[in-house]
Amino acid sequence: ESVLTQSPGTLSLSPGERATLSCRASQSVSSYLAWYQQKPGQAPRLLIYDASSRATGIPDRFSGSGSGTDFTLTISRLEPADFAVYYCQQYGSSPRTFGQGTKVEIK
């Protein structure tokens, strides 16, 4: 099973700042990595798939990079709606697994 470790656990930033979230896999998942945003009481929302492709309707301030075992989600300028929990998910091997999440909170 590929274990995904996200860091940091919590990121405290102000609107307008840049957010950099990390996801590390215990074994290579090639580029089979997705990122989701989740707000309280809501289902997750797909942001990025195949490590760097934005899902439909996702603003270009969200970008993903990486391959193999190290991945990054960058939010270039935080907007109030971006404060949420972010999860990475790998689909390079079965079972599909998720990271434990990074909470982006308002500083």
Q: Which is nearer to other proteins, 27 or 77 (CB)?
A: 27
How many other CB atoms are there within 10 angstroms of residue 80's CB atom?
7
The count of residues interacting with other proteins (CB under 8 A) is 22
User: Measured from the CB atom, is 69 or 90 closer to other proteins?
Assistant: 90
2 is an interface residue for other proteins by CB under 8 A: no
Q: Within 38-97, which residues bind other proteins (CB under 8 A)?
A: 43-46, 49-50, 55-56, 87, 89, 91, 94-97
Q: Report in angstroms how near the CB of residue 105 gets to other proteins at its nearest.
A: 15
Residue 69 CB, nearest approach to other proteins (Å): 18
Cα 68–Cα 4–Cα 53 angle in degrees, nearest 5: 55
List beta partners, residue 70: 24, 67
* 41 phi-psi bin (left φ>0, alpha ψ -120 to 50, beta other): left
Residues forming the site for other proteins (CB under 8 A): 32, 34, 36, 43-46, 49-50, 55-56, 87, 89, 91, 94-101
